[in-house]
Every structure is written in structure tokens, then in C-alpha cells.
Amino acid sequence: MASRAAQKRLTREYKSISENPPPYITAHPSETNILEWHYIITGPENTPYHKGQYWGTLIFPPNYPFAPPAIRMHTPSGRFQPSTRLCLSISDFHPRSFNPAWEVSTILIGLLSFMTSEEMTTGSVSASQAERKFLAARSRWWNSTGGGSHLKAEKGAGKGNIKAGDGGAKFKSEWPEVDQENWKWMHENDIDTATGNKTVENGGPSCVPQLGIPASSGHQAHVVVDAVIQQRDAGRGWLFQNKLFLIGGAIFMYVLVARLLGEGNT
């Protein structure tokens, strides 16, 4: 349970961050627990996280602001291990270095700054820019489906476990409007909600002969006629195609034989 000082301080900070949110950052406390805050970082331009939607939590101690929060990012980013406590100077790993003057906005700005750097710490990971861009493109799908675990969660599996995947239930409860936007985005972009990949429609085999021209072409009839003629001639074989030469040769032989017989009778 939050102390009176923590309650008062976090209530004031929620009002402040709602009225003047830092760039790329939005955050709010849970309705049921003011010590549990949820944030979304939108990936800044000119970074591999551009347009990514990164959801995480800040869990404040009851004696805040005299001790720092535990910081986690649940959405896979290629920068942090999902749902793992991060060791930062602004986190509960270093309570002695925490300044009580720092506010929620200060903590989240520090987290974003560290995210876009390449410094390593407990809870951070290494990944290529291509991998991070890939995860950014899938982040909205991951948040609203729990990484595709929504199908299992509907059957009662994995509920309440963000790390394993809760089917997006926790994200939906904390960000209902954002969740609706994500599902609309998945529908408009033909995203397979089970895999996060773009759906590819498999067309059946075509029964139209491949003539090498568009079916709508005005020359199609002529091409078809030519093809039929070629097939007909090919079926008749060599004798038919050379019949004139054969007939001429037969007449020549007939005349030659007739002359020879005529000369023999004289």
C-alpha cells in the first residue's frame, strides 16, 4: 500500500504527465493500484524502433519518492529482455543513486534515452538493426494478442502472466483505446493474429492457357487461331507438310520409266 506521501506525489505526477506528456511517451497508473504504472514508448524517427509500440511497467515502492521503481518493458524490442527488471541508475537496482526530485517523466525520458543507445546492462540484449525493425513492425500485434497467445488465453491458459503471454488481456485492460486501434490496424493490414505475419491469399490453379499475353488483349483470338493451326499442322506430320514434293517426285519417276520402256520397244 502506498504511503500518504507516495499517494500524493504520484497523483500530482499523473496530472502533470497527462497535461504535458514527454515526446514519444504516455503513461498512467493502474486504476486499482497507484504504485503500478503503465507506459507506452513510441519508437522515435531515425531509430530502428521507429513506429514501434513499446509497453512496460513501473512498479513504485510504498516509500516513493525516496526509493526508485522497478522498470520493465514487456514488448519485445531487441534492446531489453521482455518483462525483465532493468538495471539502470533510475531503477530499483540502485536505490542510493536515485534522486527524489526525479519524477515519472524523468524516469521514462531516461529509459528512452538508454533504449536508443548501445550501452549494456542487466536486462539489456544485443540485436541487429534489422531484428529491431522487425520487432518494431510486430509490436502492436504482440501487445494486443500477447504474442499470439490470445488463442490459448481464450481457453483459460496463461491468464495474468505477461511474460508468458496473457492473450493481451492486461494490455487491453490498461490501454483499451490503444488496443482497439491495434486490432483495427491488424484487420486493415491483413495481419494474421496467430503469427503476426501478413496474410497471403493462396489463389487456386488457373485453367487459362498461358499464352504470354493478357487475357483481355484484343489480339487473343488471333493468337489462339495461330496456336490451333500450329497444333493441327504438327499433328499431320512430315508427309502432309511435304506432299507437293512427293507428288512431283512421283510424276518425274513415272515419266522417266515410261520413256525407258518406250525406247526398249523400238
Is the pLDDT at 202 greater than 50, yes or no? yes
Residue where a domain stops, chosen among 132, 165, 188: 188
For residues 175 and 253, membership in a common domain is answered with no
Q: Is the pTM of this model over 0.85?
A: no
**What share of the chain has pLDDT > 90, as a percent?**
67
For residues 260 and 171, membership in a common domain is answered with no
What are the tens digits of pLDDT across the range 149-196? 887 755 544 444 565 568 899 999 999 999 999 999 999 999 999 999
The domain tally of the chain equals: 2
Q: Is residue 19 part of a domain?
A: yes
Residue where a domain stops, chosen among 188, 212, 231: 188
For residues 126 and 32, membership in a common domain is answered with yes
Q: Is residue 113 part of a domain?
A: yes
| 199 and 145 Cβ atoms separated by less than 8 Å | no
For residues 184 and 55, membership in a common domain is answered with yes
What are the tens digits of pLDDT across the range 139-152? 999 999 999 888 77
Q: Is residue 240 part of a domain?
A: yes
| Mean pLDDT of the 79-97 span | 96
| 27 and 37 Cβ atoms separated by less than 8 Å | yes
Domain of 252, in residue numbers: 220-265
**What share of the chain has pLDDT > 70, as a percent?**
70
Annotated catalytic residue 207: no
Q: What CATH number does the domain containing 53 carry? A: 3.10.110.10
For residues 180 and 236, membership in a common domain is answered with no
Q: Is residue 206 part of a domain?
A: no
Q: Which of 59, 70, 87, 164 is catalytic?
A: 87
Residue where a domain stops, chosen among 171, 188, 205: 188
At residue 58, the pLDDT reads 98
Q: Is residue 210 part of a domain?
A: no
